Amino acid sequence: MTARIWLDEEANQLVWRYKAEVGFNMKTNPPAPLMSRDQPNRPSRFPLGRAVGDGILTRDLEGRPQKGLLRIPDCIILKPTGPELAAMRASGRIDWKRLIPVKANIETVVEIKFEGDKLSPGQRDAYRRIAGPDRFRLLNANECECGTRRRRPAEEPVRAPVTTPMQRESTEQRRWYQPAPPQPAPAPAPRPVRPQYGPEVPQEEGSSMSSWLKAAGLAAGVVLVGVIAVAALPAEAVVAGVALLVVGRTATAAPINKDKKP
């Protein structure tokens, strides 16, 4: 318990209402706390050594330290409340006079006794002198309800993001400079359909314009090839070829007459 109170006291920069094992010089009236020499606002962590160094503990005729000149209660509770101490820490203005464990600032002196240990009349009188007759409390181990107290199930705290105005402004500015996210590739455009130049012409209606153009082109090509071939031959061959064509054409045109028998 003492170590835990000391840790809490140091963590809160000595602005704490619980003080553990504070030594008191019982020679003064009212008894004075023994404070640290290095930190005047903190009680001494070694009150026995401080009392010996200050000459508080004297020896009797047999050479033993006199009892009752130094008292070390288990716990001191000061009058300043938790909200008051929190306000001091937040503002940075600490009223150290209210944090010194003197009689005017003490709310309760607590002495803890376990089984087999009893409070002596000398301790009771000393603690009443330290805090006052109605500010002393004795705490026995059997008064603790730690084993019978029902423990509440731990609840997970709900965490909510906190955004300060500066963070919000920075996010808005950064949003304008961020590149646009990649867009999906567009679908391919449909291929154009070749236009139809009208329905096909039936055979009984004659040949279509496209068929006539194909035939005319083929005839012109044959004539051109023939002209080129004729130009390449000698004159005698050309004359013979023309005569042959004339004779053949005449023979083809003339009817065939056969002698009929009587």
- Which pLDDT score is estimated for 135? 92
Give the chain's end-to-end CA distance (angstroms, integer).
163
Do the beta carbons of residue 25 and residue 11 sit within 8 Å? no
Give the three-state DSSP class for 223. helix
pLDDT tens digit sequence for 211-248? 655 566 556 665 555 655 555 555 555 555 555 555 55
Report which of 51, 71, 67 is spatially closest to residue 130, judged by C-alpha positions. 71
CA gap 64, 60 in Å, rounded:
6
Claim: this prediction has a pTM higher than 0.75: no
- Which pLDDT score is estimated for 260? 47
Residue segments in the chain with a per-residue pLDDT below the cut of 50: 253, 258, 260-262
What are residue 125's phi and psi, to 5 degrees? -65, -40
- Which pLDDT score is estimated for 238? 52
- Which pLDDT score is estimated for 188? 81
Do the beta carbons of residue 21 and residue 47 sit within 8 Å? yes
CA gap 89, 78 in Å, rounded:
16
205 burial via Cβ count (<10 Å: 0-12, 13-18, 19+): exposed
Percent of the chain's residues with pLDDT above 90: 31
Q: Work out the widest C-alpha separation in the chain, in whole angstroms.
A: 198
Question: Side-chain half-sphere of 78: how many Cα atoms within 13 Å?
Answer: 22
Cis ω for the linkage preceding 30 (within 30 of 0): yes
